[in-house]
Chain A
Amino acid sequence: MSTATVAVAAQLQEKPVKSRLTRQRIRYAWLFVTPMLVVLALVAGWPLFRTIWFSFTDANLSDLQVAEFVGFDNYVYLLSDPEWWNAVWNTVKFAAISVTLETILGLGIALALDAHFRGRGLLRAAVLIPWAIPTVVSAQMWGWMFHDVFGVINHMLMALHLISKPIAWTASPDTALVAVIIVDVWKTTPFMALLLLAGLQMLPGECYESAKVDGIHPFKVFWKITLPLLKPALMVAVIFRVLDAMRIFDLIYVMSGNNKDTMSMSVYSRQQLVDFQDVGYGSAAATLLFLIIAAFTVVYLTLSRVGRED
């Protein structure tokens, strides 16, 4: 073996040398990605970092400068506060029930809209209206509809003799969360339907014709073909909705304010941070909410990836 080949062999064993073209491509990649990283750091990274930092202090809204480091005191207190756990439980109940209903209804609507009929395009656009209305507007609108004295819902239920006396929908502990869930389902089902409709339209049409020639019952086609093939789209739609529902704030705050029966984790944080001026404690609640959502996302994505590998 000549010395030249030895040198080449030695070089090959080391890390492969990147060609000029590769280095240039890497430089360009950084050039294009950097502006986005800077913007993200400013609008997402910095506020997140500040919130986490405040959560370890006794900062007060009246004067943020005099905050002192208090370690995990805020968290210790938070985890022992029954009101916080009440908010967690409300949020979980809200997310589980509303996302389940939205998924079932959304899938039904998506299947209906996937059929061929006249005026389909118009109907698809019309279905989106509840989703297009700003939440504050629809929450206020539903708030009036649910009004115990003047609300149209009590009026209709009375006229149909389904109830004998008006219900204080958003105030009564028995119905407040139900009212909020009804409005969220009304508002968000179209979003679910549209995501699932897009998924349905990706499915291979010839599979359905083949099932038709084979005489397979439509229910079986749905369970054995549509649902498994739609699973990826369904998983994405559900995680979008769950993450949204866990952070729910505007709808609940507009409809029932700081009512204990409907208070979500976000509403709790806002109350501590703004109403009680306790920035440190409120930030701890917000940080915990962030961690819960992050943990949920990681678990969900891991589980769905495991399912895909079989």
Chain B
Amino acid sequence: MAAITMRHVKKSFGPVDVIKGVDLDIKDKEFVVFVGPSGCGKSTLLRLVAGLEDISSGQMLFDGKQVNDIPPAERGIAMVFQSYALYPHMSVYDNMAFGLKLANVGQGGIDERVRKAAGILQIEHLLDRKPKQLSGGQRQRVAIGRAIVRDPKVFLFDEPLSNLDAALRVQMRIEIAKLHRQLAATMIYVTHDQVEAMTLASRIVVLNAGHVEQFGSPLELYHHPQNLFVAGFIGSPKMNFLEGEVASVSGNAVTIQLATGETVVAPIAAQSAQKGQAVTLGLRPEHLLEGGGADSQLTGQVMTVEHLGGETFIYLDRGQPEPMVLKTEGNSRAKVGDTMPVGVPAGACYLFDHEGQAFDRQAMAA
């Protein structure tokens, strides 16, 4: 089992800097998810851990030992690829056994390991089939099985569920979480899907344009995003951002005057905030109250109503470029064209300065 440490890790392809100095401490047996928009460098960072790409500068340590120049095969890792990377001409059994034949495991040992992994993944009945005779979910299991038989210190997953349909994705997500508990190995998992990140991770690394925006537990990211990027990335629907300026600052609250003229009182101890300073108020759709009746109140005109059955998304036009989204219960009676008051509970406020850095919400319990 292994802890992974990165020190100022950089990677460039020719003149293009893809990873611009990453420092991370991944603990032994942790499940860490790299998440970020496409092109943020999350897959490249994973490939640096795997050793499939060389590090341009910085240090990569496994259990305190530098592995910069150690080839992938000697790092004690196993990787599950997005396209599964199964060998199309080999049976499932051979696919799983192929990597072992060299690893000084006797024939009996190979057979035992393959059957054990197949048992864990419930694919014993598929061992004689070829990959093309399997469904997407079954192929994914074989790819994971191929990783398990190698008994690695670190599992690397590169967007493993992105080729599966929605229902199967949820099922495999639960199985991967179970697998992590069973195997007690360090796992690094790349995805662009924040739901996968939130549900699987012990800690999430939010990457953007080659650097780490924040590294923390899922709820830490949700309740205490360090900046606008993380606040906007974690949570669905996305957090509403309202422009405004500081009207007054008291000991443990800030009054914000929004661009629309309304005022909101946020219980944030923002000693550094100054009157007149431009700020962004963040409000999560699920915290807003349809019909008003909270510490502060905003209004808007209903543009669109989306009924999802269990919940309803209401899009309000407030004369700003972006509509404000509000998430409420499934039987909302809101109609397009209505003018709707929206309640803002004091505890729901997130506040960011003009550079996008968050004011500390520590006072509010996570």
Contact = CB atoms under 8 A, between A and B. Distances in A.
A120 interface: no
A209 B81 contact: yes
A213 interface: yes
A88 B150 CA distance: 55
Nearest to B99: A214
A220 B78 CA distance: 19
Interface size class for chain B? 20 to 34
A229 B89 contact: yes
B146 to A, nearest CB: 8
Interface string B73-112: 1100111011111111100000000110011000000000
Contacts of B343: none
Contact of B89 (A211, A217, A228): A228
Contact of A212 (B52, B86, B89): B52
Interface string B36-67: 00000000000000111000000000000000
A211 B150 CA distance: 12
Contacts of B77: 213
Given A224-B98, A228-B89, A229-B88, A212 B72 contact: yes
Given A212-B71, A213-B78, A216-B98, 6 more contacts: A206-B83, A209-B81, A210-B79, A210-B146, A213-B51, A215-B73
Q: Which of A207, A217, A228 has the most CB of B within 10 A?
A: A207
A121 interface: no
Q: Which of A211, A214, A220, A224 has the most CB of B within 10 A?
A: A214
Contacts of A204: 83, 85, 88
8 residue pairs, one from A and one from B, having the closest CB atoms: A215-B73, A214-B99, A206-B85, A210-B85, A228-B89, A206-B81, A213-B72, A213-B79
B75 to A, nearest CB: 8
Contact of B73 (A206, A212, A224, A225): A212
A224 B88 CA distance: 11
Interface size class for chain A? 10 to 19
B307 to A, nearest CB: 41
B130 to A, nearest CB: 10
B276 to A, nearest CB: 55
A194 B88 CA distance: 24
A192 to B, nearest CB: 22
A209 B83 CA distance: 12
Main secondary structure of the interface of B (DSSP, over half): loop
Contacts of A211: 99
Contact of A213 (B50, B82, B86): B50
A229 B86 CA distance: 12
A220 B73 CA distance: 15
Nearest to A215: B73
Contacts of A210: 79, 81, 85, 146
A307 to B, nearest CB: 11
Contacts of A207: 85-87
B101 to A, nearest CB: 8
Interface string A180-209: 000000000000000000000000101101
A42 to B, nearest CB: 43
Given A206-B83, A228-B89, A229-B88, A213 B52 contact: yes
Contacts of B81: 206, 209-210
A215 B85 contact: no
Contacts of B98: 214, 216, 224
B184 to A, nearest CB: 21
B6 to A, nearest CB: 19
Contacts of A214: 73, 78, 98-99, 150
17 contacts: A204-B83, A206-B82, A207-B85, A207-B86, A210-B85, A211-B99, A213-B51, A213-B73, A213-B78, A214-B78, A214-B98, A215-B72, A215-B73, A216-B73, A216-B99, A217-B102, A228-B89
B82 to A, nearest CB: 8
B74 A215 contact: yes
A215 B72 CA distance: 7
Nearest to B51: A213
Interface string A117-158: 000000000000000000000000000000000000000000
A99 to B, nearest CB: 24
A213 B50 CA distance: 7
Nearest to B82: A206
B26 to A, nearest CB: 18
Nearest to B47: A209
A215 B89 contact: no
B67 to A, nearest CB: 13
Contacts of B146: 210
A224 B102 CA distance: 13
